[in-house]
Amino acid sequence: MATEDNFVHPALFYRTRVEYLDSLLPFIVDGINAGHPVMVAVPGPNLAALRETLGRHAAHVVMTDMTDAGRNPGRILGEVLSGFVVKHPGEPVRIVGEPIWPSRSEVEYPACVQHEALINHAFVGRDVTVVCPYDVAHLHPGVIVDACRTHPVLWRPGFPEQQSASYDPDLVCAHYNQPLGTHSAAVKYTVRSLADLSGARAFAVAYGQWFRLSATRTADLQLITNELATSSLMYAAGPCRLALWQHDGYLVCEARDRGRLDDPLAGRRTYDSDTGRGRALYVVNAIADLTRAYTGADETTIRAYLRLDEVA
């Protein structure tokens, strides 16, 4: 099962809760018995089922509700998975990570697929296995097609493990790297120099208060705006064009510049190991409920979403 550098990334295609448990429990328990660090990051109902079935073994597993920790797919690699791996240098690590479930929205899905594709680059050279379950009974068939492209190994209950004939994570990343058009109702603010940052922060606060965000979420919006604008000024030529708008239950903060973000893992490493611009994106990923990005030959757009369900 292991590749030459011992990194393994299987997709598990399951149809029933029984298939789910029968496939994952041996993987988890074998890791525990071998003394390997094990983390399970899956949606709440699946997490509860695994915890109950593991019984006493659950005490030896880091268990995380992915609907909370991974609500922003851009946060999963740097904060959840890499955050766990770096705590165990030199040790074989086992992870169950389920970032895609049937209620994921259309706006979230491209970020989920890009996350799955980038896992293949994040742990090169490490003895890490990340198993990603997919509920084929309830997910759209196109999701399964993408899973075969982002996972080199496929697990199907009752069948031998197989190599994915369509595996091509870089092609998937390119496919979902689509231009993001600014909303027609967006309110805009241009940051041309560091002297403009105080105005950008005030712009964000005023907009958040207009939509009656809580004080905490208004501060989040202000920090996101500041991080995006500052990193744009530091690492791209020309001004940063900010835009804010409300759409479909989110307050959206967008930053555009004329630079090229050519590091696909920027913001998806641990904070201490990332680049300068990557650290700013890490902060944005950690705060936002969703992050989307587009990078072209001479343009980068970063879009952060905050849910509007927390009001003052």
The CATH number covering residue 274 comes to 3.30.565.10
Residue 5's pLDDT is 63
Q: Among 174, 173, 176, 180, which Cα is nearest to 254's?
A: 180
Same domain? 154 vs 239: no
Same domain? 148 vs 240: no
Question: Given phi > 0 = left and psi -120 to 50 = alpha, else beta, which region is 291?
Answer: beta
Distance CA 276, CA 271 (A): 10
Q: Is residue 150 part of a domain?
A: yes
First vs last Cα of the chain: how many Å apart? 52
Same domain? 202 vs 295: yes
The segments of the chain whose pLDDT lies below 50 read: 1-4, 311-312
Token couple for 95: 């992870």
Same domain? 159 vs 207: no
CB proximity list for 43: less than 8 A, separation 6 or greater: 65, 66, 67, 98, 101
Distance CA 281, CA 262 (A): 13
Same domain? 202 vs 291: yes
| HSE toward the beta carbon, residue 56, CA cutoff 13 A | 1
CB proximity list for 274: less than 8 A, separation 6 or greater: 78, 266, 267, 281, 282
Q: Is residue 312 part of a domain?
A: no
Q: Is residue 2 part of a domain?
A: no
Using the 3D structure, point to which of 119, 142, 176 is the last residue of a domain: 176
Same domain? 64 vs 204: no
Same domain? 196 vs 233: yes
Write out pLDDT tens, residues 9-57.
Answer: 999 999 999 999 999 999 999 999 999 999 999 999 999 999 999 999 9
What's the structural domain count of the chain? 2
Model pTM greater than 0.95? no
226-250 burial, b for 16+ CB within 10 Å, e for fewer? bbbbbbbbebbeebbbbbbbbeeeb
Same domain? 65 vs 204: no
Same domain? 86 vs 172: yes
Residue ranges making up the domain that contains 45: 7-176
Residue 3's pLDDT is 41
The CATH number covering residue 122 comes to 3.40.50.300
Same domain? 191 vs 116: no
Q: Is residue 181 part of a domain?
A: no
Same domain? 27 vs 142: yes
Using the 3D structure, point to which of 176, 200, 231 is the last residue of a domain: 176
Distance CA 208, CA 250 (A): 11
Using the 3D structure, point to which of 144, 176, 208 is the last residue of a domain: 176
3-state secondary structure the chain: CCCCCCCECEEEEECCHHHHHHHHHHHHHHHHHCCCCEEEEECHHHHHHHHHHHHHHHHHCEEEEHHHHCCCHHHHHHHHHHHHHCCCCCCCEEEEECCCCCCCCCCCHHHHHHHHHHHHHHCCCCCEEEEEEEECCCCCHHHHHHHHHHCCEEECCCCCCEECCCCCHHHHHHHCCCCCCCCCCCEEEEECCHHHHHHHHHHHHHHHHHCCECHHHHHHHHHHHHHHHHHHHHHCCCCEEEEEEEECCEEEEEEEECCCCCCCCCCCCCHHHCCHHHHHHHHHHHHCCEEEEEECCCCEEEEEEEECCCEC
Same domain? 98 vs 205: no
